[in-house]
Structure 1
Amino acid sequence: MTVEAEAEGVRIVVCSGEFDLDTTGLLLEACDTTTLPAALLVVDVRQVAFGDSSFLNALIRLRNTRPLILRGPLPSQLHRMMEMTGALSLFDICDASEQAG
């Protein structure tokens, strides 16, 4: 988990690897904007190998508290989970080749 950039009110957080109940807290910590407020949060999920329901829940909670864009394309496992739960339509998703913010 890395914060790739933070400029002009945009924070980009790059996720990679597997996210479950034990590791999803890292995402929330990286996205915490209480010390440096960001008008837009971009979460890059292209390198997520696995994300469980706690990861999806964290993304939804983040989306409900600030403007959020997922940078994709979404990995197939994450896309399937979001589609099956009806959460896919909740998110703005931009391809990495598009400008996010």
Structure 2
Amino acid sequence: MFWNETALSTRTSSTSGTLAPQRITVDASYGSAPRQYEYRGAWVIAASGEYDLASIAPLQEALKAAARKYPKVVLDASAVTFADSAFLNLLILAHQTASLRIVAPSRQVQRLFGISGVDSVLEIRQTIEEATAS
């Protein structure tokens, strides 16, 4: 493999994420499982850290499971520090199969959305409250 698996498993960074209704600080690691909870009849997935082809699986499983069970799925992307085409592809597929709303995407994610043009396709909201109400 072209990466050091030992370094990969210990790589962490501190970021903040938004959980309804208050902000909390989370420890985001590469490929970590997202936090999930029900809020106002929607399933909220709070993603954090870095998402690429090697680390997308936990988020993919969470979105698939949520789409099967809940009519509305909310992805809190405020603590995503890196995302690439694998993340973008996952969101587009989830959008096609579920009522997906993206909340407070980080600056890096906003840039990815703008460059790719999906910011005009995905439903982007500022807060979890706004995403669950619409």
TM-score > 0.5, shorter chain as reference: yes
Aligned pair 1:68/2:68, yes or no? no
Structure 2 residue aligned with 1:40 = 72
Where does the alignment leave 5 or more consecutive residues of structure 1 unmatched? none
User: If the length of structure 2 is used for normalisation, what is the TM-score?
Assistant: 0.67
Relative to structure 1, the CA distance from residue 70 to residue 35 in structure 2 (aligned partners, 3 Å threshold; closer, same or farther) is: closer
Structure 1 residue aligned with 2:83 = 51
Structure 2 residue aligned with 1:2 = 35
Structure 2 residue aligned with 1:11 = 43
Aligned pair 1:91/2:122, yes or no? yes
Residue 78 of structure 1 deviates from its aligned partner by 1.1
Tell me how far apart the structure 1 counterparts of residues 38 and 129 of structure 2 sit (CA, whole Å): 18
The answer to which structure, 1 or 2, has the higher relative contact order (CA under 8 A, 6+ apart) is 1
Query: 1:58 aligns to what SS in structure 2?
Result: helix
Residue 9 of structure 1 deviates from its aligned partner by 3.9
Where does the alignment leave 5 or more consecutive residues of structure 2 unmatched? 1-33
Tell me how far apart the structure 2 counterparts of residues 13 and 54 of structure 1 sit (CA, whole Å): 17
**Contact 1:9-1:37 within 8 A present in 2 as well:** no
Tell me how far apart the structure 1 counterparts of residues 51 and 109 of structure 2 sit (CA, whole Å): 11
Residue 75 of structure 1 deviates from its aligned partner by 1.2
Q: Percent identity?
A: 30
- Rg larger for: 2
Cα-Cα RMSD:
2.0
Aligned pair 1:80/2:80, yes or no? no
Moved over 6 A (4+): none
Q: What is the number of residues matched between the two proteins?
A: 99
User: If the length of structure 1 is used for normalisation, what is the TM-score?
Assistant: 0.87
Relative to structure 1, the CA distance from residue 78 to residue 36 in structure 2 (aligned partners, 3 Å threshold; closer, same or farther) is: closer
**Contact 1:42-1:70 within 8 A present in 2 as well:** yes
Which structure carries more helix by proportion? Answer: 2
